[in-house]
Structure 1
Amino acid sequence: MEGDRDRGPQYAVPVEVPTKPMTTSLKQCPPRGRGAFPSPLAGHYIAGCSQVLGGVLPPLLAVLFIRLDDALYDLADKATNSRPYPVYFEAMRIIRKQSQAIQASFLRLLRQTADSAAAGLLECDLLCDADSETLSQDLSLSQDADLEETLAVNNLVSKAESRYCAVLLEVNVFLARLLDREQLDMRSNPFGPFAVCEAFRGALKVARQLEPQIKLVIYKCFDKQVMDHLGDFYRNCLDAALAAGHVPADAAAAGAAARLAPATDQGEPGAFRILQDSDGVIVLDPESVEDTTAVAFETLQGLLERRRSPAGAPAAAPLVLPTRELQALLTQLGAAVLAAGNSAGLQVRQRLRSALESPGARPRSLEPNDQDTLDLVFMFFEQLFEGNALPEPIKVLLGPVQFPIAKLALLDKSFFSRHEHPARQLLNHIGESAAGWSEADGRGPETLFGMIERVVERLILDFDGDCRLFAQMDRFFVAYIAHDQARTREAEARVLAGVRPAAEGTAQQAVAAALEAALIRYAQVPTVVESILRQGWQPVMLATYQGGGADSPDWRAVLDLVDRLLWSVQPKTHSEERRQLLRRIPEILRALRSRLTASGCDQRQLARWFRDLQTLHLAVLQGDTHTGFAPTRPARPSLVPAVAAVPASGDAPVRPAAPAVTLGGWIELTRDDATRVRLKLVWRSPDGARLLFVDRAGQPGAEFSGPELAGLIMRRRVILLGRDHDQLADCAMRSVMGRLAS
Structure 2
Amino acid sequence: MNNVNERSNLSNIVDLAERSGSIASDPRNERVGELLASVRGIGTRRLMSLMGGMFDNVDDALFDLAEKAENNAVQTQYFDGMRDVRKKRPLIERSFIDMITGAFSRLAGGHRQEHGDSQNEHRGFGGAPELSLVDESDLEESLAVTSMTSKAEGRLSHSLFAVNQRLTVICGGTKVDNADNPIGPALLTRSFGEAMNELKVEVRVKLIVLKLFERYVLNNLEPLYEEINHALIQAGVLPQLRTPGAKRSNTPTRNAAGSADAQQDQEDEQDPSMLRTKLVETLQSLLAERRQSFGYANASMGNSGPSLSPAELLGALSVLQGEVARSTVSMPAQIPADTVLSAEDVRLLKEQLVRQISHLRGEAKSYVSGADEDTIDLVSMLFEYILQDHNLPMEMQVLLARLQIPYLKASILDRRLFAHANHPARRLLDELAEAAKGWSAESDRDQRLLNKVRSVVETLLSDFDDDIEVFSQQLDDFRKFLDNTNRRAQLAEQRAAEATRGREKLQQARRRAAQEILSRIDGRELPALVNGILTRAWANYLVLTLLRHGEESKEFRVGLRFVDDFVWSVGPIHGDAERARLNQLLPLLEKSLRHGLATVAFQDGDVENLMRQLNTLYNGQLNLREEPEPTAAVVEENMPIPESMEAIATPETLSETETAKPATEADSPEVQRVRALKVGTWVEFQADSERPERAKLSWISPISGKYLFVNRRGLKVADKTLEQFAAELASGQTVVLEELPLFDRALDAIVERLRNSQTESDADNAPQPNA
Task: Give 1 or 2: higher helix fraction.
Answer: 2
Tell me which interval the TM-score lies in, with the shorter structure as reference length.
Answer: 0.3 to 0.5
Task: State the TM-score, normalizing by the size of structure 2.
Answer: 0.44
Rg comparison, structure with higher value: 2
Which structure has more relative contact order (CA 8 Å, sep 6+)? It is 1
